[in-house]
Amino acid sequence: MQPMQHQMMGYDRAITMFSPDGRLLQVEYAKKTVRQGSAAIGMVCKEGVLLVADKRIVDKLVVVESVEKIFEIDNHIITTAAGIISDARVLIDRAQVKAQQHKVSYDTPVDTLTIVKDICTLKQICTQSGGLRPFGVSLLVTGVDNDGVKRLYETDPTGIFFEYKATAIGEGETEIKDILTKEYKEEISIDDALNLAIKAMSKVIDLKPDENRIDAAYVTVKDKMMKRVKKEKISAALTKYKKK
């Protein structure tokens, strides 16, 4: 075992303990958990915003309709996750309550950034409080704000967040981001964005042409309501881009 590995031993036993080179090892482990999660892609499109997620159902006995990877925070805000989905559920439940509290208090829909900041505040607290562990999940939070501005944010286990035009989390995220960097265009339509997302996933992940494998939803500027993509569209794109 290398000397550096000896030095690291013990520094990952508490979330509040820095290693000698200034790292929080438990947080780094949480990030690795996210990279092992099922892939998810978010894109800002001409008409609105789109999320596409891999359900990665491995048990044939599972009722596929019971598995969701895209969740509604409010009518105009949706989210998906990669990593430990049970951790994501806690954050999403909290975000849903925050959205309703804002609507009751101010009589106006909450903006996407307020939801993201609230999620990330809790994530950050869990990186500096003894007896806790980091949330082992990254979220893509996207929506159309009341002023019509389209937003897409990525949060990671540290509690930091960035706004994107297009991004990916989970399995094969680096390779998928490379494809998005080359092929994404700001004026892309929702239909073309769906095709691009499934094309990117098909190149990186072993996707079979099964529409039950993919969950996809979008919010348009026009109606600011979450809508799920029909299975026929997903099936057509999967068949088109399936690996030879």
Give the model confidence (pLDDT) of 42-51 as tens digits.
Answer: 999 999 999 9
- Could you give the C-alpha distances from 104 to 98, 109, 183, in angstroms and in order? 10, 9, 42
Residue 7 has pLDDT above 70, yes or no: no
Q: Based on the structure, what is the number of domains in the chain?
A: 1
What average pLDDT is seen over the chain? Answer: 91
* CATH number, residue 88: 3.60.20.10
Are 63 and 185 spatial neighbours (Cβ–Cβ below 8 Å)?
no
φ/ψ of residue 87, rounded to 5: -65, -40
Give, rounded to a whole angstrom, the gap between the first and last alpha carbons of the chain: 43
Average pLDDT of the segment spanning 179-205:
95
Q: Is residue 98 part of a domain?
A: yes
Q: Is residue 16 part of a domain?
A: no
The more confident residue out of 189 and 207 is: 189
* Region class of 111: left (phi > 0), else alpha (psi between -120 and 50), else beta: beta
d(CA 227, CA 203): 26
Q: Is residue 11 part of a domain?
A: no
| Run of H or E residues at 142 | strand 137-144
Domain holding 218, by residue range, is 39-57+64-241
pLDDT of residue 67: 87
Average pLDDT of the segment spanning 57-68:
85
Are 50 and 65 spatial neighbours (Cβ–Cβ below 8 Å)?
no
Residue 22 has pLDDT above 80, yes or no: yes
Give the model confidence (pLDDT) of 105-134 as tens digits.
Answer: 999 999 999 999 999 999 999 999 888 899
Q: Is residue 21 part of a domain?
A: no
Residue 3 has pLDDT above 80, yes or no: no
Q: Is residue 19 part of a domain?
A: no
Give the model confidence (pLDDT) of 146-160 as tens digits.
Answer: 999 999 999 999 999
Q: Is residue 15 part of a domain?
A: no
